[in-house]
Amino acid sequence: MRPILAHFFLTFFVLLVVGLSQSFGQVYFLRDTFCSNQILIVNSHLYSIDNPSGTEILPGAASNGADSVIEVRLVFFQPSVLLLEQTLCGDDTLWVNNVPYHAGFTIGQEVIEAGAANGCDSIIQVQLTAGIAPKVEILDTLCPGEYILVNGTRYDQDNPSGFEIFPGVTALGCDSVVHVDLSISNHTLDLGEDLTIESGDTVCIAPELNFEPITLAWSSPLPCLQPDCFPVCQPFNSNINLELTAIDSSGCELTDNLTVTVVKASPIYAPTVFSPQAGYPNNRFFISAKGGITAFKTFQIANRWGELVFQQVNVIPDNPDLGWDGIWRGKQAPPGVYIFWAEAIWSDGTSEVFSGSFTLL
């Protein structure tokens, strides 16, 4: 701000003195208002906010030779001073009097000439605080099907990343920015398709995993709980539902099921024709069985009149030496149709009777 020299007052007083030259010496009063940064020179004397009043004598200035007296009574107004204190967040910019203030330029003073209501300058003292808008990152791995809610927005495998703004939540009133960046676990576990087997058949179980599990747990216990011991092969005699749960390094739990349906189809095989004169083992009538049959509790053969011609107990399947050689009552039995019965013992301990007929040649 520059001081203002009121030269126009000098001109005014020259005219005043000329006007007084024809009058007796008199006292005149000079009253006016100025701003605190202005000055006024009267009769070579400086008047300012520090010297607002005084008496000036103009010797012989009147036309009659008398002195003229000027009483100076000035009033000085202070400029309007405004303290601007505010917080700038992040990359915000505040314009004051066409000057940009930002995080790298926070303190200054702006003068708006004649901007005050009293006509004086308006001074704005700028004192800003640079606030840092906190940025929070949510980096996480979700399991398939999981989701999180951030600021009311759902983030999942279909929407794994984005930005959320929480207005004015910091201590300085700045916004908080949250960056969400999620990874979705792509680990898989597969026990294969469900199976239908005959009783006693062996099933090999080999889970397919594309990761190294932390733990494995079966709903129906198996003798193997470590990934490196698969496949596990064992026979099944009844229906079973196997459920395997694996936990990966991210804590994700993966589960798969394998249902094994066991059917008891005819598990025995017996010849329909046999001849004692055939070569071994075809010269014996014996019963073969699948793995589900462990033994025959009884094995009987009768002729068409119901006479029992052969009987054996605790017969091991597939053993020709425990079969019938065609001898009845010490001699060769007559050719014809014969009937057999066999009480089979399943591997689960249950029993079942099978029967059929064959022709003896």
What gap in Å lies between CA 251 and CA 257, rounded to an integer? Answer: 20
DSSP H or E stretch at residue 233? strand 232-235
Q: Is 192 left (phi over 0), alpha (psi -120 to 50) or beta?
A: left
Contact yes or no for 324/285 (Cβ under 8 A)? yes
Distance CA 241, CA 257 (A): 7
Residue written as token pair 């605190």: 36
Name, in order, each residue with C-beta under 8 angstroms of 157's C-beta and a sequence gap of 6 or more: 142, 144, 184
Spatial contact of 142 and 182, defined as CB atoms under 8 Å apart: yes
Long-range CB contact pairs, 100-109, < 8 A, 24+: 101/126, 101/128, 102/130, 103/130, 106/130
Q: Which CATH superfamily is domain 189-263 in?
A: Immunoglobulins (2.60.40.10)
Beta pairing, strands 68-77 & 27-35: parallel
Domain 268-360 has CATH 2.30.30: no
Please, which residues bridge with residue 3 across strands? none
The one-digit pLDDT tens for each residue of the chain (361 residues) are 444 444 334 334 433 433 333 444 678 899 998 988 899 999 999 999 999 999 999 998 877 888 899 999 999 998 889 999 988 887 788 999 999 998 889 899 999 888 888 888 899 999 988 877 778 899 998 988 899 999 999 999 899 999 998 888 877 778 888 999 999 888 999 999 999 988 778 888 888 889 888 888 888 777 666 666 778 888 887 888 989 999 998 889 999 999 999 887 667 889 999 899 998 988 999 998 876 788 999 999 999 898 999 999 999 998 999 999 999 999 999 999 999 999 998 877 888 899 999 999 8
pTM, two decimal places = 0.46
Q: How many helices (H) and strands (E) does the chain have?
A: 1, 32
Do the domains at 189-263 and 268-360 have one common CATH topology? yes
Q: How far is CA 8 from CA 172, 208, 244, 319, in A?
A: 53, 102, 103, 142
Per-domain boundaries in the chain? 7-77, 80-131, 135-184, 189-263, 268-360
Amino acid at 143: C
